[in-house]
């Protein structure tokens, strides 16, 4: 057998072996390696890997990273640069081992992923507000002060003693424990409070509790801000 014929024979044997492996050996030669057949094999391979637990669906990420929201695909890919993933239809699949590694780093940094995503979204929203401020097209100053706006001033009132403000903060902290407000409020760095807003919880919450939460957050943040300003002066 000449070399060319031998090569062709080997190629035919190789194609036959591949067709048996991917399960298309019973189809015609033309259909064995068609796009439809190969796509089907690729989908089955992805499904098999997923079933074996090597890939995690986007809506199951919270099973690996407990603090993750229901479907954090965009954030993982766009913000955290998660590289090992693929998309099948509308569903994203993420490599399990890399998710485990990411989860360990997030826990080591004491970060709640859902809250971090909310924070980044809120910062982005605030930045958009800033960018939406109209820019003046007029020449000169982008404002106008009336002529009678002169010699109008005041002297700030005397600040209360630091002890008074500290006592107010202490009282608020006692109220925080008394009414178990940790169920509804997060306090960061012992100086700034944020509501734990969840729509379906908020919907059924007692109106009096809502008022208490809102008042406590406002009083606590105001007192801490005031204390910080007094210390600066």
Q: Do 108 and 168 lie in a common domain?
A: no
Q: Do 109 and 189 lie in a common domain?
A: no
Give the pair of three-digit tokens for residue 157. Answer: 């009132």
Question: What does the CA dihedral 82, 87, 92, 98 come to, rounded to 10 degrees?
Answer: -30
- Alpha-carbon Rg for the chain, nearest whole angstrom, is 31
pLDDT for 1 equals 47
In three-state secondary structure terms, 66 is coil
Count of residues for the chain? 233
The residues, any chain, with a CB within 8 Å of residue 192's CB and separated by 6 or more, are: 221, 224
Residue that is last in its domain, among 98, 113, 128: 113
What is the count of structural domains for the chain?
Answer: 2
Give residue 62's domain range: 10-113
Q: Do 92 and 183 lie in a common domain?
A: no
Residue 129 domain flag: no
Cα(218)–Cα(175) distance, integer angstroms: 14
Q: Do 107 and 178 lie in a common domain?
A: no
CB-neighbour burial class of residue 37 (10 A; exposed 0-12, middle 13-18, buried 19+): middle
Q: Do 106 and 172 lie in a common domain?
A: no
Beta strands 185-188; 55-57: pairing state: unpaired
Cα(187)–Cα(220) distance, integer angstroms: 10
233 residues of the chain, pLDDT tens digit each: 455 555 555 555 555 555 555 555 565 555 555 666 556 655 655 564 555 568 899 999 999 999 999 889 999 999 999 999 988 888 899 999 999 999 999 999 999 999 899 888 888 888 888 788 777 655 677 777 888 888 888 887 788 888 898 999 999 999 999 989 998 898 988 888 888 866 556 677 788 888 899 999 999 999 998 888 888 77
Contact 87, 93 (CB under 8 A): yes
Q: What is the DSSP letter of 77?
A: I
Cα(15)–Cα(33) distance, integer angstroms: 9
């Amino acid at each position: 057998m000449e070399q060319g014929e031998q090569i062709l024979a080997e190629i035919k044997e190789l194609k036959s072996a591949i067709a048996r492996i991917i399960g298309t050996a019973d189809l015609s030669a033309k259909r064995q390696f068609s796009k439809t057949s190969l796509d089907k094999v690729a989908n089955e391979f992805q499904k098999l890997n997923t079933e074996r637990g090597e890939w995690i669906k986007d809506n199951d990420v919270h099973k690996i990273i407990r603090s993750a929201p229901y479907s954090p695909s965009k954030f993982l890919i766009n913000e955290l640069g998660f590289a090992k993933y693929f998309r099948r239809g509308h569903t994203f699949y993420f490599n399990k081992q890399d998710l485990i590694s990411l989860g360990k780093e997030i826990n080591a940094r004491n970060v709640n992923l859902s809250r971090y995503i909310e924070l980044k979204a809120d910062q982005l929203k605030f930045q958009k507000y800033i960018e939406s401020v109209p820019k003046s097209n007029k020449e000169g100053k982008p404002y106008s002060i009336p002529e009678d706006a002169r010699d109008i001033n005041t002297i700030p009132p005397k600040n209360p003693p630091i002890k008074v403000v500290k006592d107010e903060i202490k009282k608020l902290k006692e109220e925080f424990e008394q009414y178990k407000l940790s169920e509804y409020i997060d306090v960061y760095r012992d100086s700034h409070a944020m509501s734990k807003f969840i729509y379906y919880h908020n919907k059924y919450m007692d109106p009096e509790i809502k008022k208490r939460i809102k008042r406590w957050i406002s009083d606590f943040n105001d007192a801490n801000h005031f204390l910080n300003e007094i210390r600066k002066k």
